[in-house]
Amino acid sequence: MRLAYVLSVLSCTVFGSAVAMTIRQDQPLAEQQFKNIRSFKGEKASDVVPAMEFMSASLKVECDFCHTEDRASDAKGEKVTAREMIAMQRDINKNHFGGRNVVTCATCHNGHPHPINVPPVEGLDARPRRSQDVPVEQVLAAYGKASGEDASHPIEGLQLRGTSLEHGEKSGFEATYMGKNYYFLTHASKGDQKTGFNGSMLWFTLPNGVQRVPLQYAEQFANQSALLYGPSTLPKLDNPSGATAKIAGRDMLVVSGFIAGEKTRLSIYFDKQTGLLTRTMFSYPTILGNIVQTNDFSDYRKVGGVQIPMTVSSHSAEGDTVHRFTSAKVEKKIDPAIFDPAK
């Protein structure tokens, strides 16, 4: 009985394989139906168009992204690159996943023409496109005029109060700025949280004391936490270039470059119509890839003759934080000790 069962299974298996081979032989191959086929040579012709549709959907592009009107032409570099990417995908899946399509075009592209090689952060869809028609000095001059900042009489200090929304918790929030130095006091449900930067050290309070972070490790945190309200408050860039972008349908003029003396790349977005700062995008290199943080500035209010953003939204791979200020005033007398580590 057992032998009969085994023979029956083997017969079905052989028969099924024969049928599959017959079907495969009866269907034309890709190279028999299409011209200049390389990546899909040996595959069924009927599989080519669905594969193209998958690539198109993964990159959110149309056929002409890789092809000219003559679909067989190799005139576009994107088509050559596509072949290389197909070979790479198949190699990865063959050597690491038993040939299963675990890694695909969508894995890295995720709906973008170019692979996204940074953790997901809000604002990545508004990446700037370099343009020689965007003069950096004129953009910064327009920002200075729009902000109302007087470089000869800079604001000595600012005090702001409002709320902070972080990880779904809304807390009272106070901020004091003097130059690049800052002090934050968050009235959280579990107790007050203090954070400060005195130009050489970042620090923040913990339940068991104060954590100090030397400048060499804290530079990026200091840059991304600064309140920007005029050209003099912007980080200095090496060899900045101009670009364009769109945010929420509005045209932006962008100034990009590496922060002087650092490996951090910064893109600064200005509203083309108002001239005011809209967004900063920091890209920090690590040994595994870049980390991106975007800061959005809005709800401007004139304080001491200068336009101050009353809402600052920060977006990073670790989460989002929104500071909404309800009051702001210029302070000429600020004790510098407030920026030093809490005792």
The confidence score (pLDDT) of residue 13 equals 43
Q: What is the pLDDT along the chain (343 residues), one digit of tens a residue?
A: 343 433 343 344 444 444 444 444 578 998 898 899 999 999 998 888 878 888 888 888 899 999 998 989 999 999 999 999 999 999 999 999 999 998 899 888 878 888 877 777 777 777 788 999 999 999 999 999 999 998 778 788 999 999 999 989 999 999 999 988 999 999 999 899 999 999 999 999 998 899 999 887 787 778 888 899 999 999 999 999 999 999 999 999 999 999 998 889 999 999 999 999 999 999 988 888 888 899 999 999 999 999 999 999 999 877 899 999 999 999 988 999 999 998 7
Question: Number of helices and strands (H, E) in the chain?
Answer: 7, 14
Contacts of 257 (CB under 8 A, 6+ apart): 237, 238, 239, 240, 241, 265, 266
Question: Residue 44 gets which letter from DSSP?
Answer: B
State phi, psi for 311 to the nearest 5 degrees. Answer: -130, 125
Give the residue among 327, 343, 299 at the shortest CA–CA distance from 209.
343
Q: What is the pTM of this model?
A: 0.73
Give the residue among 159, 144, 141, 139 at the shortest CA–CA distance from 304.
159
